[in-house]
Amino acid sequence: MRRILAKFLVFYLKVCAKAYLRRNQPAVIAVTGTTNVYDTKQQIVSMLDQGYKVRTSKKNYSAKFGVPASILNVRLGGDSAVKWVKICAQSFVRGFFIKSKIQILILELALKWQTDMNYLLSIVKPDIAVITNVIPSTLVDYKSTDNLASEYLKLANAVPARGLVLLNAHDERLAKRPVSKGTVIYYGIEAGDIQASDVKQTSEGMSFVYQGQKVTLPRFGKYAVLAFLAGSQIKSFFDKYGVKKK
């Protein structure tokens, strides 16, 4: 019975989320990868939040529940039947009736099972895709790391011609450019199409040069620099082209 109910809720949230996207047509940024996904997503949020109305996932749920919940801005109810009734009502109203002012959705696509990416892409049509890396440590339902990389690259392949794909230049499994209609850009530390150079760790965080300007981040580790590069490129994209209706 619980399994049947769970399948119904997954389907219901999907229908409401697709209705929300169809009615409101926000730009969608999807971030996936093995590590540095959350930090990259948060860096993108912090950069876009200064000039755009954005929303992102606030809590890490499973893929099939979490992405629709983030789109609809609902907090999932666990085992509480009362909470789920409220969530279903909220989801229906937000999906089919309320007009949202959100311009950009920034979603984290966490993959556990091989069917996850195909399912998520049946809901979300990303305008921008970011793939942080492919590392074998989190293999669950994948035969190999290359198989996992192929699943990640499905996200890049779903980006339209007017969109943007950002890939980690340091990951050899992402080195082969995906079959994407969008603009594909590799980012990295002294590697790729957009680069950070002269990277140093100081007592205050990370220091580096980007586009001829010295940048200091109050965070440590090269992953912070990579997250900055992705966020900066996405902000430049929206500043140049704006948020266009689909």
Per-residue pLDDT reduced to its tens digit, 109-144: 988 888 899 999 999 999 999 999 998 765 566 677
Residue type at position 62: S
**Mean pLDDT, range 14-40, rounded to an integer:** 96
Assigned token pair, 83: 């909470």
Number of other CB atoms surrounding residue 28 within 10 Å: 21
Nearest in space to 168 (alpha carbons), one of 223, 92, 206, 127? 223
Report which of 131, 111, 236 is spatially closest to residue 187, judged by C-alpha positions: 131
**pTM for this model (two decimals):** 0.93
From the list 160, 156, 74, 61, the residue with the least C-alpha distance to 117 is: 156
**At 227, is the pLDDT very low, low, confident or very high (cuts 50, 70, 90)?**
very high
Q: Provide the pairing of β-strand 128-131 with 104-108.
A: unpaired
Q: What is the mean pLDDT of the chain?
A: 91
Share of the chain above pLDDT 70, in %: 93
Domains and CATH numbers, the chain: 2-241 (3.40.1190.10)
